[in-house]
Amino acid sequence: MLKLRQKPQHNYPSSDRFGEDGLRLYSAYEAAKVRQRLQQGGMKRIRAAAIVLAAIAFVLLLIAFQLPGG
């Protein structure tokens, strides 16, 4: 028969301590906020890169269409 395994326990050194504001030091809510900020920063970089690439493509198209007309 199969034996049930225990889930691995997260071993945080002060997981049961609370900060001065009464919130846990290791808060899933705080971790989610940090993760969300990182994702937003990544999206801004991707958006900026897309705008720059579109501008470069536009300039290259302008140059390409002006050359044959000479």
Q: What is the pTM of this model?
A: 0.44
Q: What pLDDT, on the 0 to 100 scale, is given for residue 56?
A: 98
Q: What pLDDT, on the 0 to 100 scale, is given for residue 67?
A: 74
pLDDT digits (tens, 9 = 90+) for 12-46: 555 556 666 666 666 666 667 766 776 777 888 89
* Mean pLDDT of the residues in the chain: 75
Res 64 pLDDT > 70: yes
Give the chain's count of helices (H) and strands (E): 1, 0
Q: Count the alpha carbons within 13 Å of 43 in the hemisphere toward its beta carbon.
A: 6
Of the pLDDT bands very low, low, confident and very high (cuts 50, 70, 90), residue 55 is very high
Residue 13: closest CA among 30, 25, 28 = 25
Q: How many residues does the chain have?
A: 70
* Domain locations along the chain: 29-70
